[in-house]
Structure 1
Amino acid sequence: MKPHASLNNRIVAALFPILLGFSSLQASAQALTAGLDDLFAQLKTATPIETNRLERQIWREWSKSGSASMDLLLQRGREALDNGDSAAAIEHLTALVDHAPDFAEGWNTRATAYFQAGLYGPSVADIQHVLALNPRHFGAMTGFARMLEDTNQPDRALVLYRAAIAIHPNLDGVKEAIDRLEAKSAGQEM
């Protein structure tokens, strides 16, 4: 049986706005990536004052899910963290990652909540998601490095701190952490 042309036309007409929306989402994602590429390039040679501005811009971009509902869940999770309520934060952020599994900042913020709750295993699992979605996430790298230090794995922590500083040369506290771990390592070798 041959499909009717009018039926095909209606299907195409119904799908056209969806396809246009998809291409505009792709264009938005490409623009965001290009914008972040520019910010990261500037970060490499930035002065300390410029570094703070650029880092805030990067975090703002990372915090945009593209959905007002998901942004609200992120905000509520962060507010709960700020209030020291890691259990409530985990609830909000679990809802966020369940509904937006490709949103790296949802995973990162939940990793922070797990860390604050002393749950290193789930935190590390979430950091793996973050870095798979956003390999330049210097915050996730330094958080993971801190957990490795806390669990007496300084060599692995040093690798992550170095990776983070390669992306963000003026990242607060990371040069000191590298110096501390290198000095500790040199002291053990003697």
Structure 2
Amino acid sequence: MLARRSCSSISYSKRTRTAFGCSIWHQRTNHNHDNIHYLRKSSRYDEVSASRGLEVVDVDVDETWQRLNLIQRKLKIAVSDEDYTLAAKLRDEQKILLESLSPVQQYALGQVARLRSGTVQEQLQTIRNLAEAGEAAVIPDLATCLAVPELADAAEKAMWSIFMRARDPRINELMMEGCSYMQSPGTYDKAMAVFNQITQLQPSFAEAYNKRATVHYLMGRYEDSIQDCQLVLQMQPFHFGAASGMGLCLLQMSRFPEALAAFESALSIHPGMANIKRFAADLRRHVQSDEDGAGL
């Protein structure tokens, strides 16, 4: 959930609700990368692993990603200190961890390394590459770009692209169907049914809950929407759309201090959301005024 249209001030009318409904957008990148398309369509990774006598197992990508980042930092220090024994050990561990990742994940990790250096134009291209790869483990790295004005728009689009993408093509088709039903109040019930179906088919897919939260909001079911937003943030802590959406629900319920806290949480992830900045600024003045009045 995310407010996308400009609102001049806090409004508790349907105008805010309409702005909230704009969260269903999903922008696809126009850049094609043949190597990524090949890797995503290829089943050779599992075939090669099996031919080598390796067991193909599910890998905790986030944990592996964190360990690789830590190893890279330690490796840089070891080389700087000329501790080549430790450097060799770290390289061996790095190789083992890399081999546990899929080709797309290995590609994405390489792109993340490029994201931390280079010109703005090179960084923008890297962000587009990461969006095309669609690997959710890069979300924290993309989130760091939201605080950089030159990169924020591209990073936001890349994050939405990854949020919206499931590994199962059937889920992606259902997501598009559900989003189409969100365009009209007369089909909100159908949208809800589709997103409920997705949560049953793939309970770990956070964006299905986020879209369901949006439908709850559009139907005035604010408590239900908040519960779904909380689920999204448990699964994907960098989901600025769910954080801002929760704030809009709390705002509609006149729970102003909680709404302000939700908006501030969203802005801590994505400082560039202009609408949410305005909502937060107005709420901050409102809450401060109430506190000053209570103290008299």
Q: TM-score range by the shorter chain?
A: 0.7 to 0.9
TM-score, normalising length: structure 1: 0.82
What's the counterpart of residue 39 of structure 1?
Answer: 142
Unaligned runs of 5+ in 2: 1-49, 62-99, 109-134
1:116, distance to aligned residue in structure 2 (A): 0.9
1:33, distance to aligned residue in structure 2 (A): 4.3
C-alpha RMSD of the superposition? 2.3
SS for the counterpart of 1:101 is coil
How far apart are the structure 2 equivalents of 1:102 and 1:149?
28
Contact 1:43 1:168 in 2 (8 A): yes
How far apart are the structure 1 equivalents of 2:136 and 2:216?
28
Contact 2:136 2:163 in 1 (8 A): no
Greater RCO (CA < 8 Å, at least 6 residues apart)? 2
1:147, distance to aligned residue in structure 2 (A): 0.9
How far apart are the structure 2 equivalents of 1:121 and 1:182?
23
Matching of residues 72-111 of structure 1 within 5 Å: 72-84=173-185, 85-111=187-213
1:138, distance to aligned residue in structure 2 (A): 0.8
Contact 2:243 2:262 in 1 (8 A): yes
1:172, distance to aligned residue in structure 2 (A): 3.1
Matching of residues 93-172 of structure 1 within 5 Å: 93-172=195-274
1:158, distance to aligned residue in structure 2 (A): 0.8
Q: Percent of counterpart pairs with the same letter?
A: 25
How far apart are the structure 2 equivalents of 1:34 and 1:112?
24
What's the counterpart of residue 6 of structure 1?
Answer: none
TM-score, normalising length: structure 2: 0.54
Amino acid of the structure 1 residue aligned with 2:162: E
Unaligned runs of 5+ in 1: 1-12
Contact 2:136 2:162 in 1 (8 A): no
Contact 2:225 2:249 in 1 (8 A): no
Amino acid of the structure 1 residue aligned with 2:245: G
Residues matched between the structures, number: 173
How far apart are the structure 2 equivalents of 1:148 and 1:124?
8
How far apart are the structure 2 equivalents of 1:54 and 1:173?
18
